Amino acid sequence: MLSSVLTAALLALQAPQSVLAGPIHAPDLQRRDDRRPTPSKSEVEDMMEPWNDYGIEHVFYTLTQTEAKKWANDHFDDFSRITIWDTDEDLQNGPIWEDYGEVQNLWVEVYTEQAQGVAWVMYVDGSKIPSNSESAYDNIEKTILERNAKDDGNTLFEVIQVSAANTNEIYQILPVDVRDFSGCSWHGEAPDCDAQCPDGTNEITRSHYGDDPNGKCTGHGKKVFCCPA
């Protein structure tokens, strides 16, 4: 059973609007004397500790909340993929915060910072995700993911975009976006994936999955993305 403090924090995510796809709105009917102040960031980090694990693949999304939740849950046993909404699916009751939106945004920030290994972003198709000023992906998540995926000292290795229209269509978008290159290909077969670029090509990036969402490298080897020299 999750702690009462964790229960309280996660309940704030049960608004009808998607935290990751649109504006945040507080519940209309709440007693003022039941509301609690916003927890500190360190308190939220403690609340998120059960999901702070390299083996858990965090799934983000924009415009595709329902599809992303289903995709993550369908693969949970294989790859332990979760969305932010999976963390509160069993919670029914709890206190309400004085600043509902502030708590939600803080929760999203910590959830994003704790993404390790492979993180996923689902969009409606395989095209590049356009800017959306009302999306938490643009306002919070994208900046954190870009920073952490490009930091060699961080435990976030890569971010992969998956198409909601065809979940077999995936593209690494961080630390590099492979769609920016032409005439290139992935090399390496799961599970070992100990691949090298063929002669006459240069290595651009490495990946746990490459272009196969069901072919994850399980050892230290990675698939390599190679372009003509």
Q: What is the signed CA dihedral for 206, 150, 51, 73, rounded to 10 degrees? A: -50
Tokens of 137: 């992906």
Q: Indicate the length of the chain as a whole number.
A: 229
Encode pLDDT of 107-117 as tens digits: 899 999 999 99
Residue 43 dihedral angles phi and psi, to the nearest 5°: -65, -40
Encode pLDDT of 28-66 as tens digits: 444 555 778 888 999 888 888 888 888 899 999 999 999
Q: Which residues pair with 224 in a beta bridge?
A: 187, 206
Encode pLDDT of 191-223 as tens digits: 999 889 999 999 999 999 999 999 999 878 899
Tokens of 81: 């993929």
Encode pLDDT of 124-163 as tens digits: 999 999 998 889 999 999 999 999 999 999 999 999 999 9
Q: Which residues pair with 118 in a beta bridge?
A: 158
Q: What pLDDT does residue 33 have? A: 58
How far lies 179's CA from each of 70, 82, 171, 172, 225, in Å? 26, 25, 7, 8, 11
Taking the C-alpha atoms of residue 135 and residue 145, their distance in angstroms, rounded to an integer, is 15
Domain boundaries along the sequence of the chain: 41-180, 181-228
How far lies 110's CA from each of 99, 167, 211, 217, in Å? 17, 27, 29, 27
